[in-house]
Amino acid sequence: MDVCLSSAPQPARVGRAATCPDGCVEAVSEGALLTDGTEGPQGDSHETEPSLHSLQTFVPTDYASYTLEHYQFVGRKIIIQESIESYGAVVWPGIIELMQLFCFTDSHETEPSLHSLQTFVPTDYASYTLEHYQFVGRKIIIQESIESYGAVVWPGATALCEYLEEHTEELNLQDAKILEIGAGPGLVSIVASILGAQVTATDLPDVLGNLQYNLLRNTLKCTAHLPEVKELVWGEDLERNFPKSTFHYDYILASDVVYHHYFLDKLLTTMVYLSQPGTVLLWANKFRFSTDYEFLDKFKQVFDTTLLAEYPESSVKLFKGILKWD
């Protein structure tokens, strides 16, 4: 029995909801017509089954502007009586996003869900916000926090996403093996995954929880390859964690990994180590400081470097690097 609340009686046939004078709605069987109460659904027994009104404990507030809004979750049509006269009588966008998150799968017992696949726990920042991006015809929702450099989408990431989207066929990303250095909240890895690539997103340990959360939220059940998340501390344990005999990548992606920090030499060492014959490194960066240009000079010494694109409005430059071989 489908039930909802309504304010006025209507006649109905099969497939529609018949509204009774007392405000309840009941499913109507084939051929039954409720216009004057002379006929009703066959096989229905109000004496043996509880009804909406027999279970109703609290009386709804008498708002003048009630409307019936329709939602679809878990294969069901859900009808909600709402009113704009109260904050508590409206389904807000955040609730819908939360329900979409819970309903990634029809069966949490037989299919993997976001939470069953979550290995790393997101850091408990107080200032998390949900930011919206649009790439490859998809709305991508990223959980960000200004409390960490690694939990914010920086300009280089959006520039690199634009380039990947606009040059998908040229780059041949379908089934390509990609590793992202300093993936942060994961926007670039998400876009690369949507474009069909096999992605490994890497960053420091404290970033991995939020990174994995964002990746699963935006790629689960809608990409050919579910992206992998791995810890990568620049310059440390590279051969142990990424042995050259096992790991080979078509592309190394990096965005806004160069800024005012003390690990630029280790970053370059990591870029060189991960690059093998056939590997293309795409590096997008907002140039802010003299140290950024100093890194670029060192980068050019070991990589054949091509400037692919410039974004003057954000001071971002996008380079392609192919490791020089002796």
Q: Tens digit of pLDDT for each residue in 191-245? A: 999 999 999 999 999 999 999 999 999 999 899 999 999 999 999 999 999 999 9
Mean of the per-residue pLDDT values of the chain: 83
Confidence band of 9 (pLDDT split at 50, 70, 90):
very low
Classify domain 129-323 by CATH number.
3.40.50.150
The pLDDT value recorded for residue 17 is: 39
Is 140 within 8 Å of 227 (Cβ atoms)? no
Confidence band of 135 (pLDDT split at 50, 70, 90):
very high
Is 199 within 8 Å of 227 (Cβ atoms)? yes
The model's pTM is: 0.67
Query: Counting beta carbons within 10 angstroms of the beta carbon of residue 216, is it exposed (0 to 12), middle (13 to 18) or buried (19 or more)?
Result: buried
Least confidently predicted of 28-37, 49-58, 69-78, 165-174: 28-37
pLDDT in tens, 182-202: 999 999 999 999 999 999 999
Confidence band of 96 (pLDDT split at 50, 70, 90):
low
All CATH 3.40.50.150 domain ranges of the chain, comma separated, are: 129-323
Cβ neighbors of 38 (< 8 A, separation 6 or more) are none
